[in-house]
Structure 1
Amino acid sequence: MFKRVIVFLLVTIIIMSTVACGNQTTTAKDGKWKIGIMTNTVSQNEEEYRAAQNVLAKYGEEHIIHMTYPDKFMDEQETTIANAVSMASDPDLKALLFVQAVPGTAAAIDKVREINPDILIIAGVPGEDPKMIAEKADVVFQADEVSMGTTIPEQAKKQGAKVFVHYSFPRHMSYPLLAARRDLMKEKCEEIGLQFVDATAPDPTGDAGTSGAQQFILEDVPRMVEQYGKDTAFFSTNCAMQVPLIKAALDEGAIYPQPCCPSPYHGFPSALGIEIPEDKKGNIDYVVEEIKKRIAEENGTGRFSTWPVPVAMMFIEAGAEYAIQYINGNTEGKVDIPKIQELFKDYAQVDIKTMALEENGVTYDNYQLVLLDFLNF
């Protein structure tokens, strides 16, 4: 009889333990978790690819799945969907990051929700309708492009600028966002006492091509400095113009507050002749130190700046940390803005401002527009 009681108790304990384990919420502390990250290929955007690889190196393949969408993502959206479904099919997947959230992401999220509606989904740099992506993803991150119309002239003023030159062309000025930012820049310049110069450059897609547009910048910046003086700040809306703009501004002793896409990688390494070794790919600190060194050699210290990190890399690496905090139960639900701000600041090491997107009178609290303070070289 005594032995039967002991056996019964042992069996009861085993059953209760099994049930209890089955009912536990899986967290990162249990070791049973995975995060999926979808980025560009290295040929499309190396920064984002490297950021995902940084997360993979930190946490290992047992916790991180990194997949890419196709280079021709506009024509091959079904591949983006299939890759997202592949990751979501892993029963241990607890969060999924899309950076950039290219067209096709919204449809991919729908398919992922069919498999597991509870997965945390983060979409960075969305390429689809804001309202639609805000409704489908749990959290959305995007750089606050419009507010740059205020912050860039203010930064130029701090760097000693008296004149602000804005290079663009009719095609870009037909884009509402770029035109609105230009208008804000003009208003801010008038407010803080900068002379605003609205300069037209050749369109790189026009007859002169990219090389013609770049050559124009190399030749026009010295003319502008001769006319307005060295305390002239330069900005261009076009990515292809950043390298010649940085080079010419440095050669002429002028001011360059920010590339069109704020990042230490955007324009600076090529303009300054910085070769990044293979073992330093994705190493922001290395690139920043090399930029500071080259600019100092040309007596440009204090007159060149950008954001301290590429926002897309921050969205991936800090976004992954946020996902882990969520999995561990350390956030106030899926949308914890103070926690997001804290992790962004830890990553960038500068002040971060975020604000909810407001469109047509509707505020999307989970769609956060992000603005970083400047890194001065």
Structure 2
Amino acid sequence: MILVTGGAGFIGANFVLDWVASTDEPVVNLDALTYAGNLESLTSLQGNPRHVFVKGDITDRALLDRLLAEHRPRAIVHFAAESHVDRSIHGPGDFIRTNVNGTFTLLEAARAHWLSLDADAKAAFRFHHVSTDEVYGSLSPTAPAFTETHPYEPNSPYSASKAASDHLVRAWFHTYGMPVVTTNCSNNYGPYHFPEKLIPLMIVNALAGKPLPVYGDGQQVRDWLYVKDHCSAIREVLARGTPGETYNVGGWNEKPNLEIVHTVCALLDELKPDPAGSYKRLITFVTDRPGHDRRYAIDARKLERELGWKPAETFETGIRKTVQWYLENAAWVANVQSGSYRDWVSKQYGA
């Protein structure tokens, strides 16, 4: 049995689906079901006895203690986090509460659980903390990609809160000896992605004939990682990673945002052409967000060298699968586009 936090979110749901499909091991899935948590992403697991869903918050110590005592998981995979930079600029308090206080509460509950195990189970236990490349700050156009030893230089409330959680996890290993591993990933994309992030926002807006908002000049560079590749990397690190170590997970796909938008438009032109013309006509440049990091890039060679992991998808294959998924799952998209979501998009990008 493993415990997954945030397993109804984008990456968490993909991980839970892949875990149940590829292993025989049950999973307890704890998620608070905020705006980004969506049980519809897990519809295929309804009635499956190997998936136990619990609605709850990682800041609730009593709930955590009860779940750990009841299910006795051999590992915790910690996805639960507020993760959207734009939202962190408007409301940083939620990010401190969940990402910092929540991680602290989960670590303390996990430590108590770990200490209660017998010697063999204690040695085998793992706490896997899922983090982001944004903790490393911004790179110049010619700087080497982030390695695991790159200094932390977070620039947004979101990345600062994740950096704080990374430091807590590291401290629980060095101070208490708790067997933790951390992965820092680059920008994920793929199925079940909430349409406030770049790629799903471009897809759903284009299909609705709405403007495709691009911040600033659109030349912000990110490394793009297909979410199912990220899930496979987490499984490898959970199974064979060295306690106390950090592993960067990237897709080796550095691309500027504007190129991503053009690629999405070209695929939609091919797969669902609009009689009004190419979707590129909808591209609209909007005022850049405050403190927008210019470039992220992940050096994932440590993960390949030590654990043999490499992404299976190129950006070209992954983005095609992603666009096709959104075209084939219009009902899922429609159901997540609630009134509160529409209000957020209007607030962030303007009418």
Answer yes or no: same fold by TM over 0.5: no
TM bucket, shorter chain:
0.3 to 0.5
**Structure having the higher Rg:** 1
